[in-house]
Chains A and B, each alone.
Chain A
Amino acid sequence: MKNFSNTYIFIYITVLVVIVVALLSGLTLGLKSRQEMNFAADKASQILRAAGYEELHGQAAADLFAKVAKRGAGEQEQYTLRCADGTDGTVVRVDGKGLWGPIWGYVVLAADGVTIKGVAFSHKSETPGLGANITEEKFRSQFVGKKLYDAEGHFTSVRVLKPGREPQVAAANRVDAITGATLTSNGVDAMLQQLPAAQTNDKSQSAVQ
């Protein structure tokens, strides 16, 4: 076997790394526009599902989203949209921390600003089968019809709690956490506290039953 000098090794690996970096950067730049289109369509598809529409993918989702939703002014990502049942809703983006990386979601609020019509969650790298289940229908469907205010009209948002924990939180303000995914569930719980309380404060009295 040939003997290679240290200089050769250093030059060899440096040249190889530079070539690889150049190739991969070129590829990433070339595919970027397509990927961004996919991400946008995926987001549209998730929000539409939260608003009660049938499951759509790709361009079909993006087209429908453009038709029914309008981006609100302001820094926070927010949309007004016509839900599948014909009523108007507000979509609020929330961001939080999961176990391994960022998690985020879109919450569709009814016109009263108090009742949740649906939610969509996404994550960067939660554990498949545990934390990643926040995107599953079974978890998301729990949120439908939940209220952001308790019976006294205080803002509680929707809490994600282990059944039996904090019994003072009423059923209308809580959903069940995911077994085996405590940290991701806590992340969703904290994330939902970002839902807008201030701008709906005046309506809170009327919405409480």
Chain B
Amino acid sequence: MKKYLGPLSKENPILVQVLGVCSALAVTAQLKPAVVMALSVTVVCAFSNLIISLLRNTIPPRIRIIVQLLVVSSLVIAVDQFLQAYVFEISRMLSVFVGLIITNCIIMGRLEAFALSHPPVPSFIDGLMNGLGYGLVLVVVGTIRELLGAGTLWGCQVVPQAFYEAGYMNNGLMILPPMALIIVGTIIWIQNTKRNKAK
């Protein structure tokens, strides 16, 4: 069981492997799109791992990348269609980044490194955990950015009006992409410090 929990901290895809950073910077200005993006990636990662693992003995190695891309892109298209049908506003906010899940290195990386050589159930769990590890960072960054950048969480005002009257101001820099990079960098720094201490 312990080896499956790695992606949440010690082998986190964003913090340690530094994969999937582009979308992590782009969709975390608010918490809501960050959570939807995290769920989308988790679903795609878990099910593509499951499908590839089920097919692993039939896939000719020469075209395995093509097969992987086919599976991943059809899952992403399916997710995109669902988002457009059920959470239209958020799908607007995520714009091109849902489509770009196809090229997210975390997913292809897990397919190559895990699903091709492991049975379906462990592969599914591995995909799930990597998706959640990615999602965890998105949620943390999204929370910090929305709270400090707009004074809201999940679209609801949380910084009381009295603060603003006392001179508090939202930090406009927080909602710009460079600040996301700085926050992710800071989390990586904390993570590395913790890891080095444990050694």
On whether A27 and B78 interact (CB within 8 A), knowing A17-B70, A38-B84, the answer reads yes
* Contacts of A40-95 to chain B: CB distance below 8 A: 41-42, 57-58
The residue that A38 contacts in the complex, of B77, B78, B85, with Cβ under 8 A, is B85
In the complex, which residue of chain B has the Cβ closest to the Cβ of A31? B85
**How does the 8 Å CB contact mask read for B41-65 relative to A, with 1 for contact and 0 for none?**
0000000000000000011111100
Pick the interface stretch among A6-14, A140-148, A174-182.
A6-14
The residue that B86 contacts in the complex, of A17, A28, A34, with Cβ under 8 A, is A34
Alpha-carbon separation in the docked complex, A42 to B91 (Å) = 12
B63 touches A13 (CB 8 A): yes
Residues of A within 8 A of B81 (CB): 27-28, 31, 35
On whether A16 and B70 interact (CB within 8 A), knowing A4-B60, A27-B81, A31-B82, the answer reads yes
What's the least CB distance linking A155 to chain B, in Å? 34
**How does the 8 Å CB contact mask read for B15-55 relative to A, with 1 for contact and 0 for none?**
00000000000100000000000000000000000000000
Residues of B within 8 A of A57 (CB): 89
Residue total for B at the interface (Cβ-Cβ under 8 A): 25
- Residue B164 at the A interface, CB < 8 A? no
- Residue A164 at the B interface, CB < 8 A? no
- Residue B67 at the A interface, CB < 8 A? yes
On whether A9 and B62 interact (CB within 8 A), knowing A31-B85, A42-B88, the answer reads yes
Alpha-carbon separation in the docked complex, A24 to B76 (Å) = 10
On whether A4 and B95 interact (CB within 8 A), knowing A20-B70, A20-B74, A57-B89, the answer reads no
- Residue B66 at the A interface, CB < 8 A? yes
Alpha-carbon separation in the docked complex, A206 to B146 (Å) = 49
Residues of B within 8 A of A24 (CB): 74, 77-78
In the complex, which residue of chain B has the Cβ closest to the Cβ of A42? B88
In the complex, which residue of chain A has the Cβ closest to the Cβ of B89? A57
Residues of B within 8 A of A23 (CB): 74, 78
Residues of B within 8 A of A17 (CB): 70
Residues of B within 8 A of A9 (CB): 60, 62-63
In the complex, which residue of chain B has the Cβ closest to the Cβ of A129? B177
What's the least CB distance linking A151 to chain B, in Å? 39
- Residue A158 at the B interface, CB < 8 A? no
What's the least CB distance linking B21 to chain A, in Å? 16
- Residue B158 at the A interface, CB < 8 A? no
What's the least CB distance linking A161 to chain B, in Å? 26
Residues of A within 8 A of B59 (CB): 12
On whether A128 and B78 interact (CB within 8 A), knowing A9-B60, A38-B85, the answer reads no
- Residue B105 at the A interface, CB < 8 A? no
Residues of A within 8 A of B58 (CB): 12
What's the least CB distance linking B59 to chain A, in Å? 8
Residues of B within 8 A of A132 (CB): 95
Residues of B within 8 A of A35 (CB): 81, 84-85, 88
- Residue B169 at the A interface, CB < 8 A? no
**How does the 8 Å CB contact mask read for B85-107 relative to A, with 1 for contact and 0 for none?**
11011001001100000000000
Alpha-carbon separation in the docked complex, A17 to B67 (Å) = 9
A1 touches B88 (CB 8 A): no
What's the least CB distance linking A149 to chain B, in Å? 35
Residues of B within 8 A of A201 (CB): none
Residues of A within 8 A of B67 (CB): 13, 16
Residues of A within 8 A of B82 (CB): 31
Q: List 6 A-B contacts (CB under 8 A).
A: A12-B63, A20-B70, A24-B77, A34-B86, A35-B85, A42-B88
Q: Which 9 A-B pairs have the closest CB atoms?
A: A4-B60, A38-B88, A34-B85, A31-B85, A20-B74, A9-B60, A35-B84, A35-B85, A31-B81
